[in-house]
Structure 1
Amino acid sequence: MASERWPTELRLAQDKRSLRIMFDDGTNFDLPAEYLRISSPSAEVQGHSPAERKTVAGKRNVEIIGVEPIGNYAVKLTFDDMHDTGIYGWDYLYELGSEQEQRLAAYLDELAAKGLSRDR
């Protein structure tokens, strides 16, 4: 499936705590490693249905230790907690960037409702 968005640059921050992605429409996003980890498109996180989606806690200090292109449609990220099964398509990364504020607020609400923390 062809992506509607095309990245012009993908850069891992020197401290490995964020990923900057720039798109051909001029939009760019700085996506924190924590946000990418808790939003992993993997079945391990998302499950096979919305009811199976997991709330991932304790990832405030996670780092990205690997960025691997997958064809010309996605990137595979490896985190220092060894999670590496999510394949982030260009459209998904654009969506994460566009909705970052709302998604992070919903995540924090979900953590609070479940008695979980970003630190454990």
Structure 2
Amino acid sequence: MTTERWPRELRLAKDRRSLHIAFDDGASFDLPAEYLRVTSPSAEVQGHSPAERKTVAGKKNVEIIGVEPVGNYAVKLVFDDLHDTGIYSWSYLYELGAGCEEKWQAYLDELGAKGLSRDPRR
């Protein structure tokens, strides 16, 4: 049985490099734009199966340029690289916040294993 958590506050930082979200259970997270971009729930990033998931590199300096509500269950984030197809449900944002350290380290390990970098291409 899953407990639904609802956001009390959702705020984009002035520098557009992080999204603050506070939930009704008292948990709150400051999620970096880069982290949100590389973990986008979109099919473009996640694929249609785990085998299709892509490792997104070069997003170290990405910013969030838009936060659009999707019903009462999610937001669509728009990034300055024009990626805008991910729908971030409240439960997914909570999962990203609660597991940030582990998920971020797994991402860094994956980049290293594939010889990729967080830095944008020149």
Equivalences for residues 58-97 of structure 1 within 5 A: 58-97=58-97
Separation in structure 2 between the aligned mates of residue 44 and residue 119 of structure 1, nearest angstrom: 20
TM-score (norm 2): 0.96
Deviations 1:35-63, CA, capped at 9 Å, x for gaps: 00000000000000000000000001000
Q: Is the 8 A contact 1:40 1:86 kept in 2?
A: yes
Please show how residues 1-120 of structure 1 align to structure 2 within 5 Å: 4-120=4-120
Q: Structure 2 unaligned runs (5+)?
A: none
Separation (CA, whole Å) in 2 of partners of 1:9 and 1:75 = 13
CA distance in 2, matches of 1:100, 1:61: 18
CA drift at 1:3: 7.2
CA RMSD of aligned residues (A): 1.1
How far apart in 1 are the matches of 2:118 and 2:81? 14
How many residues end up aligned between the 2 structures?
119
8 A contact 1:6–1:90 mirrored in 2: yes
**Runs of 4+ that moved beyond 3 A:** none
Q: Is the 8 A contact 1:77 1:84 kept in 2?
A: yes
Q: What is the TM-score when the length of structure 1 is the normalising length?
A: 0.97
What is the rounded CA distance, in whole Å, between the counterparts of 1:109 and 1:38 in structure 2? 13
Structure 1: state its 5+ residue gaps: none
Helix, strand or coil: the match of 1:45? helix
CA distance in 2, matches of 1:71, 1:105: 32
CA distance in 2, matches of 1:73, 1:67: 13
